[in-house]
Chains A and B, each alone.
Chain A
Amino acid sequence: EAEVAQSPRYKITEKSQAVAFWCDPISGHATLYWYRQILGQGPELLVQFQDESVVDDSQLPKDRFSAERLKGVDSTLKIQPAELGDSAMYLCASSFGVDYGYTFGSGTRLTVV
């Protein structure tokens, strides 16, 4: 079964430092999403790509977060500087299209100290 690859699985960083997450979607999935999930809550969309273009980044804190998917395949999410409130699980997902089910990666659990 095809999987969405994410790395790292865990990341501990000090506040004000920079951190980056990587995601490789399932081959052929044009739509890629980054979600943030706080323990006990549902996933919250940060950014959505269609191929290499950003479709929705309305919930992305653009003063500190950035995301790119330069060749329309893998993607990187960056936080600079990290804040204590950024501690959460960061999930990447991909799908054939917006009205198809997602396949989620295993996520990166970020702890900011």
Chain B
Amino acid sequence: GENVEQHPSTLSVQEGDSAVIKCTYSDSASNYFPWYKQELGKRPQLIIDIRSNVGEKKDQRIAVTLNKTAKHFSLHITETQPEDSAVYFCAATTNTGGFKTIFGAGTRLFVKA
């Protein structure tokens, strides 16, 4: 069945460094790729998303890139800050042959001050 793999499961960076989280998806019909940030004890919140007709999207310190041929997409956080520490989930959505969103298992990001 459809699957989204997310790596790494844990990532530790020094404040000010960049962090990259990668996801691969199996369903070539996937056309929408959101990223969610979940702080400890809180709800997941949408931080950025990208559609299949776009290769890259940026919002201040965060950016997402999509490679449809390789079926992978990545989250890039630059100039990391301690408040970026959280669990990040990627997801891939298909709306052909039935609507479905599959989440990755999550990446726990630690930003050390």
CA distance A100 to B91 in the complex (A): 11
Contacts of B101 in A (CB 8 A): 45, 98
Listed stretches B13-21, B41-49, B74-82; interface member: B41-49
- Does the CB pair A91–B44 fall under 8 Å? yes
Q: A residues 52-97 with Cβ under 8 Å of B? A: 55-56, 91
* Chain A interface helix/strand/loop/mixed: loop
- Does the CB pair A42–B104 fall under 8 Å? yes
- Does the CB pair B106–A42 fall under 8 Å? yes
- Does the CB pair A104–B45 fall under 8 Å? yes
How many chain A residues have a CB neighbour from B under 8 Å? Answer: 21
Could you jot down 15 A-B contacts, CB within 8 Å? A40-B106, A41-B105, A42-B6, A42-B89, A42-B105, A43-B89, A45-B101, A91-B43, A98-B95, A98-B99, A101-B49, A102-B46, A104-B36, A105-B43, A107-B43
